[in-house]
Amino acid sequence: MTMQALLIGNESLTAECGNLWLDRGHGIAAVVTREPRVAAWAAGKGVPVVAPGVGLAERVAGLAVDWVLSVANLSLVPPAVLARARMGGVNFHDGPLPAYAGLNAPVWAMLSGEARHGITWHLMTDGIDEGEVLAERSFDIAGDDTAFTLNARCFSAAVESFAEVVTALEAGGHPRRPQGAGLRKVFRRADRPAAGGLLDFTRSADTVARMVRALDHGAYRNPLAVPKIRAGGRVLAVGMAAVEPGSAAAGTVLEATQAGLVVACGTGAVRLAGLRSMEGEAVCPSTLGVTFVASPGADESARLSAALGPVAEAEQRVRGLLLSADPVTTGAPAAGGASWRAVPLALGGAGAARVALAVLRALGRTSGDLAVAVADAAPGLVLPWVPVRLAASGPAGAAEAAAGQALEAAHKAGGIAADLALREPGMGAPVPHPVALAQNDQPLAGSAVTLSLGDVPKLWHDTARLGEAEARALVGRIERLVAELADASLDVGALSPLSAEEKGRLSGALAATARDHDRSLTIPAAVLARAARDPAHPAVIAGGVRLSYGALVARAARIANILRGMGVQRGTLVGLACHRGADMVAGALGIQMAGGAYVPMDPA
């Protein structure tokens, strides 16, 4: 009998098992994935691809399938989606059950010192990894296994055992058996190693080296933590560890050379190599000048773990904001040390949410990201700020309520894990957004402007990035907009960043720049003519970005060439979704040079 499945997953294993399912003569009604490579595989098989997340049940409502196959899928399948399957669902779990339910089972098994590991195919229920077992495999954990290699072995075991699973599904999900006896432990997405991964040298050298291997995910994303030490006044990531002969008080440095840092443990010693700063810079052990590496005691470990708890809970959301950052900008880019000055702010008792909306509108934005300063609860392990994304549009009352909720969530997050960029391929070290909000009386290091909303509100500005006149003008706009936002019915997005006086002054300045010109020329032709006459003359000044006519035309020409290659021709409408700046000007010009017409779109 041919069966239809809804396949859900985000790894190469998803496609591997999909191929095996198809090879057995069965069909796939749709693939639910966020992974482009899996989506490309599905498209190549002629299988529809459905986006995961909120609303998934509605998106698959028209499907009729026999089984839901959850393979390398780290999210719970909603009951309404599982209900689409006539026979039920089966899930691949990368650990033995019931001992290692939940997420990241290979890592937790290694951290626990297990000698063996395994994988489980089980029927799906409303609970987490609770269903009866269709197939399972177990194998020894090798002495040199890392999180990466153990995960790879789990995937191999999954592929090898999937034929047994398909046979069981063809028989209606039989044979099946209860999960084995023993303590059930569920590992949550936000669970982390103690003390944020700081190595404890009071333990045996074997245990310390195993922890480093357990947190080694190779070139893949690390969802938990990197192993760390505190040395030379900073926190460093550890890339490799090997057991070495040696004996001394735990934490004593026995050697510090280019070959590594050898540290005595409770028993034996370990050689630590591949040291990096939290910003990703390589650190040579010989430059540290340390004779001892401290371990976190029980009380400190508990305190650090407590401080990192809310950070881990919020990490998935914060990670998404950092990877899709849309910072509100002002002033010049950071370059060297900061020189802070404060300008008083008269806010009339307005709350942080209203002030934040006023800041966005004062800088001409209807949406964007600010930095929210938080307490520095775990220096070196947590960055003391959190990104927040706000929308300054719609009725003021509703916008202020939404902004308040977003700011509250940011404060609860407690910061950003300092090792996040080391764990996320392609992510640079997080740097505070240019505009920040703080509840204390201090500017956020790394920002250009910090609005301090304590007992005496003020706007701090880094004079190297934003001058005194610009800062005072910004304060005036914020104060005016805060007052206007007291009317809850006003459309926030319709509020002008400029006062009537500023508009009058600017309109006069613009009128003074009026010049006669050849009105027979199109805008692209006029720009090209000016670029030919005077290529070095400034054409665009946007914040800290300056483009000459020559540079503007070169950038626009590249855009036009790409657009023509995509089929844009005379009369084609091309959407332009850019914030005001040099990219917007180059994009509009490039579209026109390709023959098209640009359609301005709100990037929010």
Task: Assign residue 140 the CATH number of its domain.
Answer: 3.40.50.170
pLDDT at position 517 is 81
- Do 147 and 63 reside in the same domain of the chain? yes
In a domain, 515, yes or no: no
**Residues 248/263, Cβ–Cβ less than 8 Å:** no
Sheet with strand 260-264: strands edge to edge: 240-244, 269-273, 260-264, 253-257
Give rounded-to-5 percent helix, strand, coil for the chain: 35, 25, 40
First to last CA, the chain: 49
What's the structural domain count of the chain?
4
- Do 228 and 132 reside in the same domain of the chain? no
Helix/strand/coil for 200: coil
Residue 502: CB partners within 8 Å, gap ≥ 6? 473
pTM: 0.85
In a domain, 8, yes or no: yes
In a domain, 74, yes or no: yes
Residue 548: CB partners within 8 Å, gap ≥ 6? 535, 536, 537, 538, 539
Q: Is the pLDDT of residue 553 over 80?
A: yes
- pLDDT by residue (tens digit) across 420-440? 999 999 899 999 999 999 999
In a domain, 508, yes or no: no
Concatenated DSSP letters of 232-283: TTEEEE--EEEEE---SSTTBEEEEETTEEEEE-SBSEEEEE--EETTS-B-
Which residues form the domain of 117?
A: 4-187
pLDDT at position 166 is 98
- Do 288 and 366 reside in the same domain of the chain? no
Q: How many CB atoms within 10 Å of residue 475?
A: 21
Domain at 545, CATH number: 3.40.50.980
Domain at 412, CATH number: 3.30.559.30
Across the range 391-416, mean pLDDT stands at 97
In a domain, 441, yes or no: yes
Q: Is the pLDDT of residue 320 over 80?
A: yes
Cα–Cα distance measured from residue 268 to residue 289, given in angstroms and rounded to the nearest whole number: 22
What tokens were used for 356?
């934040």
In whole angstroms, what separates CA 391 from the centre of its chain? 19
Which of 168, 187, 206 terminates a domain? The answer is 187
* Lowest-pLDDT range of 103-107, 124-128, 338-342, 500-504: 500-504
- Do 183 and 200 reside in the same domain of the chain? no
What tokens were used for 176?
């099946």
- Do 21 and 169 reside in the same domain of the chain? yes
Q: Is the pLDDT of residue 173 over 90?
A: yes
- Do 144 and 49 reside in the same domain of the chain? yes
The Cα-based distances of 418 to 279, 384, 407, 408, 422 in angstroms read 8, 9, 21, 21, 9
Q: Number of helices (H) and strands (E), helices first, in the chain?
A: 16, 28
- Do 199 and 87 reside in the same domain of the chain? no
pLDDT at position 115 is 97
Cα–Cα distance measured from residue 348 to residue 350, given in angstroms and rounded to the nearest whole number: 6
| Residue keyed to tokens 């040298």 | 201
The closest alpha carbon to 102, from 91, 113, 111, 112, belongs to 91
- Do 406 and 277 reside in the same domain of the chain? no
Cα–Cα distance measured from residue 418 to residue 280, given in angstroms and rounded to the nearest whole number: 11
Phi, psi values for residue 500, rounded to 5°:
-60, -40
Q: Is the pLDDT of residue 544 over 80?
A: no
Which of 187, 205, 220 terminates a domain? The answer is 187
pLDDT at position 123 is 97
- pLDDT by residue (tens digit) across 205-261? 999 999 999 999 999 999 999 999 999 999 999 999 999 999 999 999 999 999 999
- pLDDT by residue (tens digit) across 567-601? 999 989 999 988 778 899 999 999 999 999 999 98
- Do 159 and 232 reside in the same domain of the chain? no
Domain at 216, CATH number: 3.10.25.10
